[in-house]
């Protein structure tokens, strides 16, 4: 899937409306953050809307998870109940993809995240998201894997089962219909 480099005025309005609706419906994700401040950042950083649009259109349902005062930016994270449907059946990274001899997926999670202008969640951020609800109860999501694990051919993913958040490992070349990835992007951050 190729992501657009620009977002039309109509798409921008639809996106901001969807973000506002989701923000107001889920205050547990962002206590003490007001929508008006978030909207101000969105409108002042329209170039960043491309990443949010890519998250939204691939099924991620992005929402604010935190405000970083050092960056003066809001962190948007994929909050869809299950791993985003438009980002599943992917190897972890390019090396994993290229190591497959056959039955290759179109791309990898890391490549798709780069194309979208987002970061794959690390374990800490995934756990922070899980503290606001229960996500990936039927799916799993690749997470940023430490280099020492990746160097040995492995990659990590997480899911929520039996009232617990689990971290698992798999070969980076593996891909499954029920495994995708969740991403994040700061809006308002100084580049």
- Note whether residue 189 is domain-resident: no
Q: Determine if the pTM surpasses 0.85.
A: yes
Q: What are the tens digits of pLDDT across the range 159-184?
A: 999 999 999 999 999 999 999 999 99
Q: How many domains does the chain have?
A: 2
Q: Do 162 and 136 have their domain in common?
A: yes
Q: Phi first, then psi: give them for residue 153, nearest 5 degrees.
A: 100, -5
Distance separating alpha carbons of residues 147 and 48, to the nearest angstrom: 28
pLDDT of residue 3: 59
Q: Do 93 and 175 have their domain in common?
A: yes
User: What is the average per-residue pLDDT within 128-148?
Assistant: 98
- What domain range is 45 assigned to? 9-80
Q: Do 92 and 159 have their domain in common?
A: yes
- Note whether residue 30 is domain-resident: yes
pLDDT of residue 4: 56
Q: What are the tens digits of pLDDT across the range 56-82?
A: 999 999 999 999 999 999 999 999 999
Q: Do 89 and 172 have their domain in common?
A: yes
- Note whether residue 35 is domain-resident: yes
Q: Do 63 and 144 have their domain in common?
A: no
Distance separating alpha carbons of residues 160 and 127, to the nearest angstrom: 10
In this model, does residue 189 exceed pLDDT 80? no
Distance separating alpha carbons of residues 67 and 44, to the nearest angstrom: 16
User: What is the average per-residue pLDDT within 144-159?
Assistant: 97
- Note whether residue 186 is domain-resident: no
Q: Do 139 and 176 have their domain in common?
A: yes
């Amino acid at each position: 899937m190729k992501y657009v480099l620009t977002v039309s005025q109509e798409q921008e309005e639809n996106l901001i409306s969807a973000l506002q609706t989701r923000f107001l419906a889920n205050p547990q994700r962002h206590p003490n953050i007001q929508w008006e401040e978030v909207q101000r950042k969105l409108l002042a950083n329209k170039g960043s809307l491309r990443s949010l649009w890519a998250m939204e259109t691939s099924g991620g349902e992005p929402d604010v998870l935190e405000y970083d005062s050092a960056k003066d930016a809001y962190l948007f994270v994929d909050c869809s109940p299950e791993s985003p449907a438009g980002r599943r059946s992917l190897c972890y990274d390019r090396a994993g993809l290229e190591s497959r001899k056959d039955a290759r997926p179109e791309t990898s999670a890391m490549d798709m995240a780069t194309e979208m202008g987002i970061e794959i969640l690390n374990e800490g951020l995934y756990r922070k998201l899980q503290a606001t609800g229960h996500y990936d109860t039927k799916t799993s999501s690749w997470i940023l894997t430490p280099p020492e694990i990746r160097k040995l051919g492995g990659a990590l993913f997480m899911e929520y089962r039996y009232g617990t958040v689990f971290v698992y490992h798999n070969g980076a070349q593996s891909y499954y219909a029920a495994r995708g990835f969740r991403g994040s992007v700061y809006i308002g951050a100084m580049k």
